[in-house]
Chains A and B, each alone.
Chain A
Amino acid sequence: MTPLLQVKGIEKRYGTRIGCAEVSFDLYPGEVMGIVGESGSGKSTLLNCLAGHLEPDAGQVVFDTKTDGPMDTVTMSEPERRMLGRTDWAFVHQHARDGLRMSVSAGGNIGERLMAVGERHYGNIRTKAIDWLGRVEIDETRLDDRPTSFSGGMQQRLQIARNLVTGPRLVFMDEPTGGLDVSVQARLLDLLRGLVREMGLSAIIVTHDLAVVRLLADRLMVMKDGHVVEAGLTDQVLDDPQHAYTQLLVSSVLQV
């Protein structure tokens, strides 16, 4: 089986400081990878390098494209990379405001990716938008409302709908539950878990919340100071941490 994504020796430096270095892993179709670490450990830098938002200084990000098979997304042309960005890839931002067009209605937000890949039938776009609002548990009557009138949790769910509407195969998530209260977080996690299983999505989730990776991720990478210090199956890493930093991280979680 070809991995969906092969990351080979990714390195990004900010001047002399290291953003992230020597990161390599394979992601297989249907697999969810969690990346945890403290603030400043390089997990967002890594995610942005993988998603093509930042240009890495070294390394390869090989994605198994539908048409041409495995291709290095770092060296591919910008139009190709941007095309991937709105078809096979999705990016869920921590702040829904970064990922949504706040002045455009919910339906328009969901429809944007469809129109960007050439859908030109208003009725079809609308039907799909309604379908996706339902899937992310937003009432159909909110279709023509702007996201500014939505609560934080709804905005985040709308962002997810907007990203998944074109049926991507790989989803990058940057702290998808950050800034939401715990009950809303729980619903969002439930929703994400359902969608990931149902659509057979692969996902890379960056978070500092161990509960999120415990629920969603099959595998886990722990980062510190730009390097991966430990990697393995989620339960294995969390239940039997080997590296001193992972042990600290796991023991820092408050038990209620």
Chain B
Amino acid sequence: MSEYNFAYLDEQTKRMIRRAILKGLAVPGYQVPFASREMPMPYGWGTGGVQVSAATLTPDDTLKVIDQGADDTTNAVSIRKFFEKTAGVETTEETEKATIIQTRHRIPEAALREDQILVYQVPIPEPLRFLEPRETETRKMHSLEEYGLMHVKLYEDISQHGAISTSYAYPVKVSERYVMDPSPIPKFDNPKLEMDAIQLFGAGREQRIYAVPPHTKAVSLDFEDYPFEATKADHPCDLCGAENSYLDEVITDDAGNRMFVCSDTDYCRSRREAGHAGRLAKEDAA
């Protein structure tokens, strides 16, 4: 512990990041530039999220880290270990018990509370980037609220696929002002963006922080005749039988067999402990 300052970053850096976070909370959806630091992990592994987590952590916090909903994948395990080592905080896999949850690509199934903070890892914070490559132009579009281009993308989806095929990183308009990229969460999670917890978004390589305060309106963009739909695999979970959770499809052999399981491992586990069982529960319970 003594080798590191609490939570790895030095106090001045944390102060700088907290200022960016406060500004982000004051202007929901606005991308606040910040002086992102080099972290001991490659870009794309959550350097932005880790910095935001480090700046929000206190010694009393309990941290949970999830990657695609799971607590036990490489990214989640290594970031959890990182904070165990550098901050010495309690960690947990249970959504209920955590006060700070760092996440990659999912929002937990269990509803979050007002005393919790959800930190997202963001690869590309700019929702307009793939339509307009110039940063000067996208900034101007944000400042003048010129978001027609975002609908051009959705138009292209419908004209090519017959429906809005964007299934993740689905753009939302936050608090009736800024169009925001909710990071690559499935669009199934979009309705949950209006929640009780604070949501912070950190993009390390792109050096941007943005935020959605609790109870803030976040509307997914759509057309009047092609309304937004939160989609998921049309299946119950094969382990816990949940009908309303986001599912991963797992191929189980080369004979065409597959199973659908909750991507939120903690949710699935707690349901199985409560006695729920899905189609393949028996064989897999061991």
CB of A31 within 8 Å of the partner chain: no
Q: Does B156 contact A (CB under 8 A)?
A: yes
Interface 0/1 of A106-149, CB less than 8 Å to B: 01100111011110111101100000000000000001100000
A239 to chain B, nearest CB (A): 46
Q: A79-B144, A82-B144 are in contact. Are A115 and B155 (CB under 8 A)?
A: yes
* Residues in B neighbouring A105, C-beta threshold 8 A: 156, 159-160
Contact of A112 among B148, B160, B224 (CB under 8 A): B148
CB distance from B226 to the nearest CB of A (A): 5
Q: How far does the Cβ of A107 sit from chain B's closest Cβ, in whole Å?
A: 6
| 0/1 interface trace, chain A 38-56, chain B, CB 8 Å (1 if under) | 0000000000000000000
B144-179 near A? 1/0 per residue, CB < 8 Å? 101011011001101110000000000000000000
Instruction: Please give me the residue from chain A that is nearest to B159 by CB atom.
Output: A144
* A8 contact set on B, CB distance < 8 A: none
Q: How far is B156's CA from A144's CA once the two chains are assembled, in angstroms?
A: 8
B-side interface residues, number (CB < 8 Å): 16
Pairwise interchain contact B152-A104, C-beta atoms closer than 8 A:
yes
Contact of A108 among B144, B156, B226 (CB under 8 A): B156
Q: How many pairs of A and B residues are in contact by the CB < 8 Å rule?
A: 52
In Å, the complex CA distance between A105 and B131 comes to: 13
**Which residues on the B side are within 8 Å of A143 (C-beta)?**
159
Question: Is B223 interfacial (CB 8 A cutoff)?
Answer: yes
Flag if A108 contacts B225 (CB, 8 Å): no
A121 touches B152 (CB 8 A): no
User: How many chain-A residues does the 8 Å CB contact rule pick out?
Assistant: 24
Cross-chain contact A122 with B146 (CB below 8 angstroms): no
Q: From the candidates A107, A113, A117, A118, name the one contacting B155 in the complex (CB within 8 A).
A: A107
Residues in B neighbouring A125, C-beta threshold 8 A? 155
Do B152 and A123 have beta carbons less than 8 Å apart? no
Residue A101 at the chain B interface, CB threshold 8 Å: yes
Distance to closest chain A CB from B284 (angstroms) = 43
* Bound complex: CA A117 to CA B158 (Å): 20
**Closest partner residue, chain B, to A79 (CB atom):** B144
**A112 and B158 in contact, given A78-B144, A121-B223 (Cβ under 8 angstroms):** no
Whether A122 and B144, one on each chain, are in contact in the complex, defined by CB atoms closer than 8 angstroms, is: no
C-alpha gap A119/B73 in the complex (Å): 44
Instruction: Please give the distance in Å from A100's CB to the nearest CB on chain B.
Output: 12
Do residues A120 and B152 form an inter-chain contact, with CB atoms below 8 A?
A: no
B151: contacting residue among A86, A101, A120, A144, CB under 8 A:
A120
The minimal Cβ–Cβ distance linking B101 to chain A, given in whole angstroms, is: 35
Which A-B residue pairs are the 7 nearest by beta carbons? Answer: A116-B148, A115-B151, A115-B148, A122-B223, A121-B224, A79-B144, A144-B159
